[in-house]
Structure 1
Amino acid sequence: MQKYLKLLQELAVDFDLFQITQVSRTLNKKADTLSKLAALTFSHFKKEIWVEEVKVKSIEEDSVSAAVEEEEQSWMTPIVEFLNKGALPIDSVEARKIKMKAPMYLLDKGILYRKSFLGPHLRYLNPTQAKSNIREVHEGMCALNSGHKTVVSKIMRLGYYWPSIYRDAAEVIRKCQSCQLHALVSKAPRHPMIPVASPWPFCKWAIDILGPFPAGPGGVKFLAVAIDYFTKWVEAKPLKTISGKQIRYFV
């Protein structure tokens, strides 16, 4: 309690008016009940009682580190150096590209933004931060595991952008295990179907050879199959070897 009092006295200096009001017992029933829970046993209660265990005191400061460490070199490095120091690459072609792209960017307190006329400036992210941002929007606590276009629109509404945002979002979502497990199974053929017209029976035939398969009775390993396009009648014969004599005999 002395630590809380010391912290309270330090914070009170920053306020013009400081007042302590005593709460009456009728308005403090909830706090009194919570304070007595430590001396009670819950075996006789039929309903569940959720008790939060506070392991860290509110007066202790927590050290927060960055969730994603930024990379030293990325595609933004030459642009930031040009906007900050006016430095250009040795290659004349690359230097010309940076000069043409520079008016599209804004450097504010070491952070690179993309200028916008009708909306807020969008903050650029390096590759490591970009992938973490995509996973948070796609697989986060309030995410819907939506497609890459919806994820990109949400990221831009949050105020972030980078040149390869669509390609990176599609690549990350393609590797999502939940999307692969719960995705709709497409029943459409992978290749366009080619209709074959047959005016009468035995007008068109198709013959194919399948195999080799594991050896069966008699040492047969191959299968000769023929089908009529009109009646869809199938003829099949197991063969031990494939030769012109065997196929002529099958036909």
Structure 2
Amino acid sequence: MNNEAEYEALLAGMELARSLEAKHLRAFSNSMLVVKHFYGEYEQRDPGMKAYATKVKDVSLSFETFELSQIGRESNRRADALSRLASAETQSLTGSIYLIKAKTPSIKKRDYLEIHQRNNCMAPLRKFLEKGILPLDRREALKIKYRTSSYTIINGRIYHRSVSQPLLRCLNTEEQHQALKTVHEGICGEHLAGRSLAFKILREGFFWPTLKADASEYAKKCVQCQLFATVPRQPLEEMTFVLSPISFAVWAVDIVGVLPTSTKQTRYCIISINYITKWVEARPLSVITEKAAKKFFLE
């Protein structure tokens, strides 16, 4: 909500400047996210933020020059004071202060859905099946032509032709998440793993191109599966005994990394454990080299 408020404030100021027929505009914001989104330095993952960033870019085209800069919160006291006027009595304000009451969001639900649909992997297939539109990239166009041979549209719905099953209904982004949630942890959910979860969704008559990968990622992020899943305790192979009657005769050595970078720019650690006494020796390393390993063993 805070990021949306920052965007709404920026758009309100830009609209005010446009109504005053300003040609050159320089705007300031204390939100790094808004500034980085505008210049494309940060990735816009949320469709709502993408819609706001697109709206800001569209409005900025109405000015001959537009610049958006970030300022610190300590330099934004005047704007903070004006923002607190929302709770004040408007009758006590002078005419030098211009207030705008934003009753509805600047972006429409249609803009949000268009960006959301643009991120859907089924959108290019639908465009080609319905209107024959292909991407400008020749390689991408050939991929879509090849993939659409196994798809068809019935009553506005995309269906996938399967070899051993009837037509499978293709789901959009929102329906994909709902299907994963319902089958995995619904009223009859068994908290299946990724492969089993994907096959059960297929048996229910649904499909999308990244089904197996999405099912695997969803199962990995399930909190209940992490807490209550049965962990196999049986070793992968028969246990073998290591006989070492002399202390410090046999050592187990391993290198750990990449670790968080320390103040001395070390990112790795070489560890050695004695089999009999369980004595541990460890040393941080900035790089893994033969010289560093030899020095560790000699010392």
- State the TM-score, normalizing by the size of structure 2: 0.42
**Structure with the higher helix share, 1 or 2:** 2
Q: Which has the larger radius of gyration?
A: 1
